[in-house]
Amino acid sequence: MIGYALEVAQAALALLLAPGLVGLIRWMKARLQNRRGAPVLQPYWELRKLFRKEVIVSNNASWLFRATPFIVFASAVAVTFLVPILAVPLPFDGIGDLLVVVYLLLLGTFFLSLAGLDPGSPFGGMGASREMTVAALAEPTVALAIFALALSAGSTNLGQIVARTMTNPGAALSPGHLLAFGALFIVTLAETGRLPIDNPATHLELTMIHEAMVLEYSGRYLALIEWAAAVKLLIFFSLLGNLFVPWGVSMALTPATLAIAVASLLAKLVILAGVVAVLETRIAKLRLFRVPELLSVSFVLALLAVTSSFLLR
């Protein structure tokens, strides 16, 4: 019973923390660029504002356009139940392993690009085609990178992968893990629309991907999509943090270990947010034609990770 309560608490925590994480990255980036920056809590105010605003929908839009925000948000929320954010093992571990997680995330992306095409605006179509290009290259890499971990743990279950790495700490420094970490990190930037692939700070630029797809959305629909995007970022960060550096994740369901788990999760998120902020300050956006090349780098890294964990077992 306490396991189920913990599942709900974990999902609620993820939903609550996600906008803050986005705000934190923005704030760190602003400080690094010598700007004062909006407060960390700014995304929460933005969400509240959007939820109050009226929804304007194009006359050409079909039911798909209206259903998409809910599908995107629901798929992101469903993933928060399946990813080890605070504790392992959890009762829902049996429902979905890494394949379910990867394809639930892809489901959201898929519907978002459909909705981008739906109202027939040129921006949406462009964004959707680009998003599909990126997703088609990024999705297999996510699966492959986590497979590398699954191979050394002997299970595709995310909770078991975490538990296995904790009992065998040397594995965290094995080349398979490191290569997979590199691959998953690049893919995280691609999937969540961060800088070398997409620029989250611009609204009107010909090279934008995510913003182009959601350009037609407004009001609470936009709020749901933005929130889901933030949750996706948090999911990827906690995958990076908990699968590769699992220390801190609670193995027993006692208050003390759970407190440690929350603290270590926050620490990991802050560290990763710092890394992303520094990276985004130092590099420029890639030309669109170079994006598939970067993603094939990460694919090759993931492939090598699988190979080395398969052969060095």
Report the interface residues with other proteins, using CB under 8 A.
Answer: 170, 173-175, 178-179, 182, 292-294, 296-297, 299-301, 303-304, 307-308, 311-312
Least separation in angstroms between CB 291 and other proteins: 10
Minimum separation from the CB atom of position 79 to other proteins (A): 29
Q: How far is the CB of 99 from other proteins (least distance, A)?
A: 22
User: Smallest distance from the beta carbon of 293 to other proteins, in angstroms?
Assistant: 4
Q: Which is nearer to other proteins, 179 or 234 (CB)?
A: 179
Is the previous residue joined to 89 through a cis bond, with omega within 30 degrees of 0? Answer: yes
CA 143 to CA 109: how far, in whole Å?
Answer: 15
| Residue 168 CB contacts under 8 Å (≥ 6 apart), including other chains | none
Q: What angle do CA 142, 123, 141 make, to 5 degrees?
A: 10
- The gap from C-alpha 111 to its chain's centroid, in whole angstroms, comes to 16
Pick the closer one to other proteins by CB: 161 or 186. 186
CB of 279 to other proteins, least distance (A): 16
Residue closer to other proteins by CB (options 47, 183) is 183
Question: What dihedral angle (degrees, nearest 10) is formed by the CA atoms of 227, 251, 168, 139?
Answer: -20
Residue 180 C-beta: closest distance to other proteins, Å: 11
Encoded tokens for 103: 């394809």
Closest CA relative to residue 237, chosen from 60, 21, 5, 48? 21
Cβ proximity to other proteins, 256 vs 311, nearer residue: 311
Nearer to other proteins, 104 or 291 (CB): 291
The answer to whether 238 touches 21, Cβ cutoff 8 Å, is no
Residue 159 Ramachandran class (φ > 0 left, ψ -120 to 50 alpha, else beta): alpha
Rounded CA gap, 98 and 174, in Å?
21
Nearer to other proteins, 83 or 135 (CB): 135
In the block, residue with structure tokens 């504790």: 87
Please identify which residue in the block is written with the tokens 């182009």: 212
187 vs 303 by CB, closer to other proteins: 303
Q: How far apart are CA 141 and CA 118, in angstroms?
A: 28
CA gap 101, 104 in Å, rounded:
5
Nearer to other proteins, 82 or 303 (CB): 303
Q: Which of 106, 111, 125, 109 is nearest to 67 (CA)?
A: 111
Q: How far is the CB of 210 from other proteins (least distance, A)?
A: 23
Kindly report the backbone phi and psi dihedral angles of residue 287, in degrees, each rounded to the nearest multiple of 5, phi listed first. -65, 150
Query: From the CB of 147, what's the least distance to other proteins, in Å?
Result: 15
